[in-house]
A = this chain, B = another copy of it.
Amino acid sequence: MSTRGRGLHGHVLDTLGPAITSGEYPPGSVLRTDELAQHFEVSRSVMREAVRVLESMHLVESRRRVGVTVRPKAEWNVYDPQVIRWRLAGADRPHQLRSLTVLRSAVEPVAAGLAARHATAEQCAELTECALGMVANSRGHRLQQYLFHDVAFHRVILNASGNEMFARLGDVVAEVLSGRTRHEVMFEDPDPAAVTLHVRLAEAVRARDAVRAEELTREITAGALQELDILAP
Contact = CB atoms under 8 A, between A and B. Distances in A.
A74 to B, nearest CB: 7
B232 A74 contact: no
Given A49-B52, A82-B56, A117-B232, A163 B102 contact: yes
Interface stretch (A103-111, A128-136, A190-198): A103-111
Nearest to A95: B164
Contact of A48 (B49, B56, B79): B49
Interface stretch (A31-39, A145-153, A165-173): A165-173
A144 B53 CA distance: 35
A81 B75 CA distance: 11
A105 B210 CA distance: 16
Contacts of A73: 164
Contact of A9 (B52, B102, B168): B52
B105 A110 contact: yes
A168 to B, nearest CB: 5
Contacts of A81: 77
B232 A167 contact: no
Contacts of A168: 76-79
B103 A165 contact: yes
Nearest to A111: B106
A57 interface: yes
Contacts of A163: 99, 102-103
A113 B231 CA distance: 13
A52 B77 CA distance: 17
Contacts of A103: 107, 163, 165-166
18 contacts: A45-B48, A49-B52, A52-B52, A52-B53, A77-B80, A77-B168, A78-B165, A78-B168, A79-B79, A79-B168, A99-B163, A102-B163, A102-B165, A103-B166, A105-B110, A106-B166, A113-B233, A117-B232
User: What are the 8 A-B residue pairs with the smallest beta carbon separation, nearest first?
Assistant: A79-B79, A106-B110, A53-B56, A49-B52, A103-B165, A99-B165, A106-B107, A78-B168
Given A52-B53, A53-B55, 5 more contacts: A9-B52, A45-B48, A76-B168, A79-B79, A79-B165
